[in-house]
Chain A
Amino acid sequence: GAVVSQHPSRVICKSGTSVKIECRSLDFQATTMFWYRQFPKKSLMLMATSNEGSKATYEQGVEKDKFLINHASLTLSTLTVTSAHPEDSSFYICSVLTSGGLYEQYFGPGTRLTVT
């Protein structure tokens, strides 16, 4: 399967600042990546679908101006949390969609964001 990395693994920022999270597909050229968010003791919730070279598709209730997604290459997608607030503190996880005959997703290790 695909190897996916995220950077940083954890970040603490002050309220009102912006944070960028990188998702890299290390051994697969990913046309499509997904961004999920997971609150403590809850399941993963899809935030947006990131397509290389085009605008991301956001899920209902996810503000596209607050969570900026850039998928400029086949190996890199970034999620920027703008003007972060404490309620944005969460575990952010990306995944890569592979298409080797059957669509499979491989996930990054996640980024723990804490907004103080």
Chain B
Amino acid sequence: DAKTTQPPSMDCAEGRAANLPCNHSTISGNEYVYWYRQIHSQGPQYIIHGLKNNETNEMASLIITEDRKSSTLILPHATLRDTAVYYCIVHSGANNLFFGTGTRLTVIP
């Protein structure tokens, strides 16, 4: 699976949009972009995934560039409960997910 690069940490004011970037310049044609998050001392939580089109669900939006080499996860109105480590993973098939170091998002009151 392709490697991803994320900033180690970000802050966001409560109520504002949180935009988390991810670079995946070596992504291959059959790999999807997945986002998970892990709140302290809990298991990871699936957020969203996409192939090449932008996606939106009740939790977040995923914007994938046209060349698919990078993406952005958007939490439209961040709350204190969104403080977590966010993992961007590119993946295909039925094997395990490789978790990098992720981005530690801190939502500030």
* Residues of chain A whose beta carbon lies under 8 Å from any beta carbon of chain B: 1, 4, 6, 32, 34, 36, 43-46, 49, 91, 93, 95, 97, 99, 102-110, 112
Known contacts being A97-B94, A99-B94, A102-B32, is A43 close to B41, with CB within 8 Å?
Answer: no
Of the candidates B43, B46, B49, B95, the one whose C-beta lies within 8 Å of that of A108 is: B43
Cβ contact within 8 Å between B101 and A93: no
Counting CB contacts under 8 A, is B93 at the interface? yes
Q: How many interface residues does chain B have, given as a range?
A: 20 to 34
Q: Chain B residues in contact with chain A, CB under 8 A?
A: 32, 36, 38, 41-46, 49, 87, 91, 93-102
How long is the Cα–Cα vector from A11 to B7 in the complex, in angstroms?
34
In the bound complex, CA of A43 to CA of B97 (Å): 12
Among A34, A104, A108, point to the contact of B96 (Cβ < 8 A).
A34
20 A-B residue pairs with Cβ-Cβ distance under 8 Å, sorted by A, are A4-B43, A32-B94, A36-B99, A44-B38, A46-B96, A46-B98, A49-B96, A91-B41, A95-B43, A102-B32, A102-B49, A103-B93, A106-B46, A107-B43, A107-B45, A107-B46, A109-B43, A110-B41, A110-B43, A112-B41
Closest 6 CB pairs of A and B: A107-B43, A44-B99, A43-B99, A46-B96, A103-B94, A107-B44
